[in-house]
């Protein structure tokens, strides 16, 4: 009798708790800080598979943002699940105080992708892109014994305190933090110099310029501006290094004039600084032509930073550098860096990219999508200002007028995003003015997926005209 009464009262308590439970919208707004919830009616995700995610009502969406350029080989890839599960049955975590096969195996696998840059032969593992850039900053300053660092306007290198000093997008700046020396963004579309012959891309901006197909004068002008920073703003032209995203990510998928990265980084290196290649978004075959974005620039980095697609969303990141630079790290330690599950998943990612030819797919499908988007840019009057990118690293910049290049209003950008979502397509948004659609889907998408996305985006834009 007492036991029956206990069960009865327990069920009543459970029913009452269920009735009083806050909705997920209420809970997020009251107890969690997520300022970037994307949609007017928030998307409640239930599961993911390949290039698709499904909401709690079972509706399917084509994911063209891939967890912010992170789900490189597709959601819930069976090879990655198998690798994680196999390692979890052995042990989850030990830290790098101990020798582990998983750490060695992944480091060997990763370094195979630096055969053209064999001086880059030491791996340091951390948990995120911000941590990796923080460590790269630490290494550069320790190795050079200099404090000055150069970054580009419109750059994004993370949001922990040290990397906020490297990030140059207005919404992330903090008045209490001193920043780096900031060079102009060498942007052929929105910058002072550049135009239709400047980018290493299947699609050029329609803006005219004085460059020739075989020589980009805009690149020279931007390098001269960088040299002025060295001449006027730093002691004896000595710097610790220069951070460059191979293509700017959050800043709006901005591509630089041809040869800029090579010339700029050589200038910095000649003055004692290191070139830190930020491959957090552009690495692992996403640009199609190369495995690492910096390779497309013909540049030689001293430090390479990678995260996001490295383990397809599992918290994992790495810094690869020269042995003599790595030695300066001193007593740096990261408890979870080199987590064995992360290493196992990251190794499986490299295998999947190779076996499923995802880099090649990025080039083929990405070029198709870029060409179709460029045609749409030319068809729609005064709304698509620029289409740019390589592989499946694509940006579509929206404007109110193609001549003035005035940024498209944020409320209209949001309206287009919500229409696309209603019709089964998820996109990202970025740029300093929030007027660039960021198209970075899983690298497993098909031509049919690309055409579907294009049709949905075109319909959403036309309804906003």
Query: What are 229-255's pLDDT values in tens digits?
Result: 999 999 889 999 999 999 999 999 999
Total number of residues shown for the chain: 465
- Whether residue 434 is contained in a domain is answered as yes
Confidence (pLDDT) at 37 = 63
d(CA 67, CA 56): 18
Residue of 449, 393, 392 lying closest to 425 (CA atoms): 449
Residues of the chain with pLDDT under 70: 1-22, 29, 31-37
Q: Are residues 195 and 99 in the same domain?
A: yes
Same domain, 151 and 287: yes
* Of 308, 330, 355, the domain-final residue: 355
Residue 35 lies in a domain: no
CATH code, domain with 412? 3.90.1150.10
Partners of residue 407 on adjacent β-strands: 399
Q: Hey, how many other C-beta atoms are within 10 angstroms of the C-beta on 290?
A: 20
Judge whether 92 and 105 are in contact, CB under 8 Å.
Answer: no
Please tell me whether residues 110 and 66 are part of one structural domain: no
Domain final residue, candidates 355, 387, 422: 355
Instruction: Answer yes or no: is 58 within a domain.
Output: yes
Convert the pLDDT of each residue in 121-167 to its tens digit: 999 999 999 999 999 999 999 999 999 999 999 999 998 989 999 99
Largest CA distance in the chain: 92
Under DSSP, is residue 165 helix (H, G, I), strand (E, B) or coil? coil
pLDDT at 14: 39
CA atoms of 187 and 436, how far apart (whole Å): 14
**Are residues 296 and 428 located together in one domain of the fold?**
no
Together in a domain, 215 and 318? yes
Exposed, middle or buried, 335 (CB in 10 Å: 0-12/13-18/19+)? Answer: exposed
- Model pTM greater than 0.75? yes
Tokens 């089964």 correspond to 424
Does 31 map to a domain? no
End position of a domain, from candidates 297, 327, 355: 355
Whole-number pLDDT of residue 233: 93
Residue 136's closest CA among 293, 254, 307? Answer: 307
């Amino acid at each position: 009798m007492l036991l029956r009464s206990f069960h009865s009262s327990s069920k009543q308590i459970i029913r009452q708790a269920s009735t009083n439970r806050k909705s997920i919208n209420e809970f997020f707004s009251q107890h969690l800080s997520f300022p970037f919830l994307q949609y007017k009616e928030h998307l409640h995700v239930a599961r993911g598979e390949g290039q698709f995610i499904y909401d709690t009502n079972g509706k399917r969406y084509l994911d063209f943002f891939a967890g912010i350029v992170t789900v490189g080989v597709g959601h819930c890839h069976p090879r990655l699940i198998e690798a994680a599960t196999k390692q979890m049955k052995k042990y989850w975590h030990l830290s790098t105080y101990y020798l582990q096969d998983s750490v060695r195996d992944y480091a060997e696998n990763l370094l195979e992708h630096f055969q053209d840059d064999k001086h880059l032969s030491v791996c340091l593992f951390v948990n995120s892109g911000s941590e990796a850039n923080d460590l790269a900053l630490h290494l550069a300053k320790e190795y050079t014994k200099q404090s000055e660092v150069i970054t580009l306007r419109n750059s994004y290198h993370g949001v922990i305190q040290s990397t906020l000093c490297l990030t140059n997008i207005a919404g992330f700046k903090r008045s209490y933090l001193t920043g780096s020396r900031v060079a102009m963004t060498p942007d052929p579309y929105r910058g002072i110099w550049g135009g239709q012959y400047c980018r290493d891309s299947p699609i050029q901006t329609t803006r005219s310029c004085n460059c020739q197909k075989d020589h980009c004068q805009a690149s020279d002008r931007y390098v001269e501006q960088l040299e002025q920073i060295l001449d006027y703003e730093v002691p004896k032209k000595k710097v610790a290094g220069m951070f460059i995203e191979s293509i700017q990510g959050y800043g709006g998928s901005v591509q630089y004039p041809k040869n800029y990265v090579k010339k700029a980084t050589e200038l910095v290196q000649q003055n004692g600084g290191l070139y830190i290649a930020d491959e957090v978004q552009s690495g692992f075959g996403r640009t199609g032509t190369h495995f690492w974005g910096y390779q497309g620039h013909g540049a030689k980095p001293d430090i390479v930073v990678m995260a996001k697609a490295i383990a397809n969303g599992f918290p994992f990141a790495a810094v690869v550098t020269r042995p003599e630079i790595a030695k300066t790290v001193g007593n740096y330690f990261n408890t979870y860096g080199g987590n064995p599950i992360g290493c196992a998943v990251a190794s499986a990612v490299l295998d999947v990219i190779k076996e499923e030819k995802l880099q090649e797919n990025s080039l083929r499908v990405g070029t198709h999508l870029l060409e179709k988007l460029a045609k749409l840019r030319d068809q729609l009057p005064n709304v698509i200002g620029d289409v740019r990118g390589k592989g499946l690293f694509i940006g579509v910049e929206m404007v109110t007028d193609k001549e003035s290049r005035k940024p498209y209003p944020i409320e209209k950008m949001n309206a287009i995003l919500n229409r696309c979502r209603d019709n089964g397509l998820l996109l990202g948004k970025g740029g300093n003015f929030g007027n660039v659609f960021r198209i970075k889907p899983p690298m497993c998408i098909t031509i049919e997926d690309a055409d579907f996305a294009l049709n949905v985006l075109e319909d959403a834009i036309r309804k906003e005209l």
